[in-house]
Amino acid sequence: MPQIQSERLIQHFIELVKIDSESRNEKAISETLAEQLGAMGFEVHKQAVDAAISNGHNLYARLPGTLPGQILLSCHMDTVTPGNGIEPVIEDGIIRSKGDTILGGDDKSGIAAIMEAVRCIQEQGLAHQSIELAFTVNEECGLHGSKLFDMSLVQAKTGIVLDSGGPIGTIITTAPGAETMKVTITGKPAHAGLAPETGINALTVAADAISKMKLSRIDEETTANIGTVQGGGATNIVMPTLVMEAEARSLDDDKLAAQVAHMVETFEQAAERHGAQVTIERSREYDAYRLSDDEALVQGIKAAFAANGIDAMTKSTGGGSDANVFNAKGLQTVNLSTGMAKVHTCEEEIAVADLVAISDFLFTYLSR
């Protein structure tokens, strides 16, 4: 069995989560990791991104190996808010924040696990396959770092993102595509008390559309949601404009296209019925991916978990990750659980045993 130095792993994880790195503010964490990886013998390349995306940079790093094969390992460096001034505490084998911030295990648990596994392989003088790293900025606000990641130096044909929850051994082989919509309904203002019939209420138009729209759980593969609604200025004015932000997701690209078309058509028909105008700005956020259990990448991951006494399982998810983007870029990629739980909340936590277990897996996978 691997011999991960759990105390060093925990201390490095705590060191990383204490570095403020909310999305777009990854300069400090990216500089720290670049220096640490360089000290470990990685060839490190800092990839510049637009300042609107981050004040830091994507990191590509490579450590040549002597075993056959090569793999790209990836995590994102940013966290959601509130993620500044994190104070980790360890109680009964569980690492969590003091309670007024997130923990940052999403996704610094993956970073710490990768680096501890490599350190142990090096210290034990073990042969390993060639290791490539992609540490990305601004994943949380739309997978921006991976979308901008320069793949020209990447030699691997397969990748592993470590950015999911669930039991250790969870392999995300299927994830949805997603499309967002910004819907602006333009009606006509009027005095709500003196002449409401001369106006066109944008909210009435929206309500008409939504009442006829398939939303929430569409089927086992497809969801749709209207997440934000903004409009109106005063109670005595017939609402002239309304802006909504919506999304649709599906594991099946054809179903996604059909759901989006349905939502667009329903808004347009409601606007026409009421004499209003509607404009819809659409953006494809990421494409779906689906890998068979028979793929060599999946089989190799399962074998490494099995060698550590873990019965790994493949599953689908309703969320997107950098794995979606890397698959779209031609790198066959899965997403693995690091054991992170209650992410994006101030109750976020990770078990020390899970952090050690995912580090153990990486040790075994890279040195087999």
Contact 170, 312 (CB under 8 A): yes
- Tokens 């005063």 correspond to what residue? 234
Contact 230, 242 (CB under 8 A): yes
End-to-end CA distance of the chain: 12
Catalytic, 139? Answer yes
User: Quick check: helix, strand or coil at residue 254?
Assistant: helix
* 84 Cα distance to chain centroid: 19
Indicate the length of the chain as a whole number.
368
User: Which one of the listed residues 139, 163, 348, 354 is annotated catalytic?
Assistant: 139
Of 22, 91, 89, 104, the C-alpha closest to 55 is 22
Token pair in block for residue 141: 């606000």
User: Quick check: helix, strand or coil at residue 191?
Assistant: strand
Side-chain half-sphere exposure of 21, counting CA atoms within 13 A: 31
Bridge partner list, 332? 158
Side-chain half-sphere exposure of 168, counting CA atoms within 13 A: 24
Name, in order, each residue with C-beta under 8 angstroms of 123's C-beta and a sequence gap of 6 or more.
none
Token pair in block for residue 209: 């559309």
Orientation of helix 6-17 relative to helix 352-367, angle to 10°? 110
User: Which one of the listed residues 78, 106, 247, 322 is annotated catalytic?
Assistant: 78
Bridge partner list, 91? 94
Neighbours of 205 (CB within 10 A): 25
The CA-based diameter of the chain, rounded to the nearest angstrom, is: 84
Q: For 33-90, what is the HEC assignment? A: HHHHHHHCCCEEEEEECCCCCCCCEEEEEEECCCCCCEEEEEEECCECCCCCCCCEEE
Enzyme catalytic residues: 78, 139
